[in-house]
Amino acid sequence: MAAQKVEHYEIATYGSLTQFVKTLGKTDLADLMVQTLEEEKEAAQLLTSIAENNNVKVTVE
Ligand SMILES: [Fe+2]
């Protein structure tokens, strides 16, 4: 859950940075921000997949 929270924070950050650099007219930087944003989304999806596939066993006593 902690890792998922980090990924979502990064997604919000790179989404905002994408718009900031577009506003500044820095299209080369916008492309880099979009690429990084997509990588963060992929990481979040991987973590979701791990959680959904029960790769972590939890025991409640
Ligand atoms: Fe990340």
The pLDDT assigned to 54 comes to 73
The verdict on residue 31 lying in a domain is yes
The verdict on residue 56 lying in a domain is no
57 C-alpha to center of ligand 1: Å?
A: 24
The pLDDT assigned to 58 comes to 62
Q: DSSP states of 1-23 as a string?
A: -HHHHHHHHHHHHHHHHHHHHHH
* Secondary structure of residue 39 in the 3-state scheme: helix
Amino acid code (one letter) for 33: M
The per-residue pLDDT string of the chain (61 residues; one tens digit each, 9 = 90 and over) reads 899 999 999 999 999 999 999 999 999 999 999 999 999 999 999 999 988 987 666 677 7
The pLDDT assigned to 39 comes to 97
Give residue 46's domain range: 2-51
The verdict on residue 13 lying in a domain is yes
45 C-alpha to center of ligand 1: Å?
A: 11
The verdict on residue 61 lying in a domain is no
59 C-alpha to center of ligand 1: Å?
A: 28
| Nearest Cα to Cα of residue 17 among 7, 32, 6 | 32
The verdict on residue 24 lying in a domain is yes
32 C-alpha to center of ligand 1: Å?
A: 15
The verdict on residue 60 lying in a domain is no
